[in-house]
Amino acid sequence: MKAFELSLYLVLDPNLCRSRSLVETARAAVAGGVTMVQLRDKIAGTTGLVAAGRALMDALAGTGVPLIVNDDLDAALTINADGLHVGQDDMPADEARHRLGRGKILGLSVETEAAAQAVDPSVVDYVGIGPVFATPTKPDHKPPIGLDGLTRIVATSAVPAVAIGGLKAAHVPSILASGAYGLAVVSAICGQPDPKAAAHALRMAIGNERSGKQFRRGRR
């Protein structure tokens, strides 16, 4: 399996990318410090996802940043993506793992402690927990879990967690304090006038928060 790092996970949605292409946005975001990229297009269909996914695979080659395909296992397999992300209402994780093979990254959305408890770490590599806050990016999202809900669900998870839903740079301290390893965002990068600068600001906030914690632990 390609190594993965959940600190800053860009979920690419063409609806939010304004006039920029997915490739342009991904390149800029990776230059700004994004560590994972997901292709999420709810209307493209498998053919559209395959075309967009191939272009993204080329753009990310050599960067070390994995490309995850949302929902569509066939598209992920066709382009030999680094992994797949499924939700509770998508294909069951067991089946996704079986068809994906052991060498790929599999992410699963969880919205409750019960769902987090049910995650099998031999099947699922990471969980996406949300929505932390309400967001117009996903109109069909479940009720927001808030920071307390996030903290409880993270504590239940046997695999690394990334928080998602309405997250901006100002939320970095509270999200990391919840125990989540990182943040997954759409509009905080995709919808921004300068996606590289937006990604950089998020990544710096994450780095500062982590180093600040180390410093505080060492103080008398």
Ligand X SMILES: Cc1ncc(COP(=O)(O)OP(=O)(O)O)c(N)n1
Q: Does 14 bind ligand X (CB under 6 A)?
A: no
Is residue 182 at the binding interface for ligand 3NM, with CB under 6 A as the rule? no
Beta bridge partners of 41: none
Near ligand 3NM by CB under 6 A: residue from 187, 198, 203, 205: 187
Q: Are 93 and 123 in contact (CB under 8 A)?
A: yes
| Measured distance CA(217)–CA(120) in Å, rounded | 33
Q: Does residue number 35 form part of the binding site for ligand 3NM (CB under 6 A)?
A: no
Give how far Cα 13 sits from Cα of 20, 43, 70, 114, 219, Å.
11, 10, 10, 29, 43
Task: Write the single-letter amino acid at 187.
Answer: S
Q: Could you say which of 8, 10, 11, 50 contacts ligand X (CB under 6 A)?
A: 11
Q: 35-46: b or e for each residue (b if 16 or more CB lie within 10 Å)? A: bbbbbbbeebeb
- Using the contact rule CB under 6 A, the part of the chain among 117-125, 132-140, 202-210, 212-220 near ligand 3NM is 132-140
Q: Which region among 26-34, 82-90, 153-161, 188-196 touches ligand X (by CB under 6 A)? A: 82-90
166 touches ligand 3NM by CB under 6 A? yes
Which of ligand 3NM, ligand X, Mg ion, none interacts with 188 (beta carbon under 5 to 8 A by kind)?
Answer: ligand 3NM
Residue 49: Cβ within 10 Å count: 24
Closest CA to 170 of 185, 157, 158, 160: 185
Give the interface segment with ligand 3NM, choosing from 28-36, 47-55, 179-187, 208-216 (CB under 6 A): 179-187
List of residues contacting ligand 3NM (CB under 6 A): 11, 40, 109, 128, 130-131, 135, 137-138, 141, 164-167, 185-188
